[in-house]
């Protein structure tokens, strides 16, 4: 999509309610999506697909599934969110963006058909993905849920397999105030008769929610931790070697993951089980090749030190459990080094519990806002870091906080950890790209 067409299309999208920027309650329903899909000739049915929900890990599992399918020679579309730098990141393949012609034809179809009809920004982007993948003639598509599951815009698809990743408290004002209520919303993607793969969960009560709903819908359910095992995870200079075992595999699956963290081994297992459930004869060698091929920005992305910049880790961790995983992985990759922390999170995150995790871990914290797309609560974050006893500084202007954090880490000869919000990482990557181009 050329720059002029992309700008015009994004302006048209931005004229519709964007929940990512302006959260509002009671705006979720599927009737509008179904109506639009019908008007567009049901593009959601044009490509066999996988559907992935969860509180954490859904982006990684989606990408790993796409990696496995692509390794076997399949043309695979991948729909994820949010994007970091370029809108087209949301609707692409593992090898990169689709052609300009595909994006332009899909945009034309969408704008001419939907017109002035009331629709949210995310609904329109999801429809755009359906149209792009139909226009490309994808063999398969993988759709990551945006928020929740039951009423998410993606939930008009009928997948080959559904996946639900780890559940924890998040977006409680929209999904419910207990993990069980949130699990029930995520379980809304379980379709009658369609197998669902469940990632390891923190409690039996969450698993019971999934089991009950799956039974009600006669959907075969596979709990990854009950039907498979990860006997070995080994960290090395070039990544993380994992061994996956399950009766559905003809032999153990061994892969060298570029995605770091024990939880990524769990994500790899869920992805492998999903593909083997859909295609029992799928070759283990293609699973290994696919898992080993995947890289993802902002998922414990390590950047080497340069003359101007410190060694850096960018990790879009924004829940308590994901921050725990970030800290554990950092210790495995950096030993006892206490990083300088650049942190920002949206106003609805559990910043009190997150701040406590950083106590004794970070040598210094710089707290800022997560870009312009998300509202933040700086006074609340300040109180949380004070209570946790962390040495910190508040710099609300993220564009100033980023070089400030880089200088701080460089002067201290320590690595810089940027985490808490994908939107903050997006701003960091933009600045780094500008710096590199100078």
User: What pLDDT, in 10s, does the model give residues 159-196?
Assistant: 999 999 999 877 767 788 899 999 999 999 999 999 99
* Distance set, CA 56 to CA 129, 151, 170, 298 (Å): 22, 18, 10, 14
pTM for the whole structure: 0.91
* Distance set, CA 149 to CA 54, 154, 306, 434 (Å): 8, 8, 42, 37
Q: How far apart are CA 305 and CA 411, in angstroms?
A: 13
Give percent of the chain above pLDDT 90. 83
- Confidence at 372, pLDDT banded by 50, 70, 90: confident
432, 335 Cβ separation under 8 angstroms? no
Report the Cα 122 to chain-centroid distance in Å. Answer: 15
371, 298 Cβ separation under 8 angstroms? no
Question: What is the structure's pLDDT at 374?
Answer: 79
Q: How far apart are CA 56 and CA 200, in angstroms?
A: 11
User: What pLDDT, in 10s, does the model give residues 284-325?
Assistant: 999 999 999 999 999 999 999 999 999 999 999 988 989 999
Give the number of other Cβ atoms within 10 Å of residue 28's Cβ.
21
Average pLDDT, integer, range 326-332:
95
């Amino acid at each position: 999509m050329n720059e002029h067409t992309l700008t015009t299309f994004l302006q048209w999208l931005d004229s519709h309610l964007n929940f990512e920027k302006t959260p509002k309650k009671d705006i979720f329903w599927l009737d509008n999506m179904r109506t639009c899909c019908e008007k567009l000739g049901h593009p959601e049915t044009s490509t066999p697909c996988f559907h992935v929900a969860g509180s954490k890990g859904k982006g990684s599992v989606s990408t790993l599934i796409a990696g496995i399918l692509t390794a076997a020679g399949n043309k695979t579309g991948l729909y994820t969110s949010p994007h970091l730098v370029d809108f087209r990141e949301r609707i692409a393949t593992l090898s990169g963006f689709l052609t300009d012609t595909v994006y332009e034809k899909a945009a034309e179809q969408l704008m001419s058909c939907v017109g002035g009809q009331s629709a949210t920004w995310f609904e329109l982007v999801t429809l755009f993905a359906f149209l792009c993948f139909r226009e490309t003639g994808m063999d398969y598509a993988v759709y990551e849920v945006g928020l929740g599951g039951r009423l998410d815009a993606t939930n008009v698809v009928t997948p080959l397999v559904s996946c639900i990743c780890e559940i924890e408290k998040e977006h409680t004002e929209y999904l419910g105030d207990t993990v069980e209520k949130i699990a029930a919303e995520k379980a809304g993607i379980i379709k009658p008769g369609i197998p669902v793969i469940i990632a390891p969960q923190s409690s039996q009560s969450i698993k019971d929610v999934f089991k009950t709903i799956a039974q009600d819908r006669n959907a075969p359910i596979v709990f990854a931790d009950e039907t498979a095992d990860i006997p070995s995870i080994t960290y090395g200079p070039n990544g993380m070697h994992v061994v996956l075992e399950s009766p559905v595999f003809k032999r153990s699956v061994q892969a060298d993951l570029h995605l770091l963290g024990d939880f990524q081994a769990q994500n790899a297992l869920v992805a492998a089980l999903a593909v083997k459930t859909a295609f029992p004869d799928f070759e283990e060698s293609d699973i290994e090749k696919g898992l080993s091929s995947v890289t993802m920005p902002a998922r414990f992305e390590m950047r080497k030190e340069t003359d101007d910049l410190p060694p850096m880790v960018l990790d879009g961790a924004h829940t308590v459990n994901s921050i725990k995983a970030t800290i554990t992985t950092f210790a495995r990759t950096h030993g006892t080094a206490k990083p300088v922390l650049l942190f920002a999170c949206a106003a609805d995150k559990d910043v009190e519990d997150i701040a406590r995790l950083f106590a004794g871990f970070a040598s210094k914290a710089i707290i800022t806002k997560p870009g312009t797309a998300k509202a933040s609560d700086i006074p609340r974050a300040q109180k949380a870091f004070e209570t946790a006893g962390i040495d910190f500084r508040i710099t609300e202007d993220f564009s100033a906080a980023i070089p400030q954090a880089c200088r701080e880490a460089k002067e201290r000869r320590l690595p810089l950890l940027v985490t808490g919000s994908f939107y903050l990482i997006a701003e960091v990557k933009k600045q780094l790209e500008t710096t590199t181009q100078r």
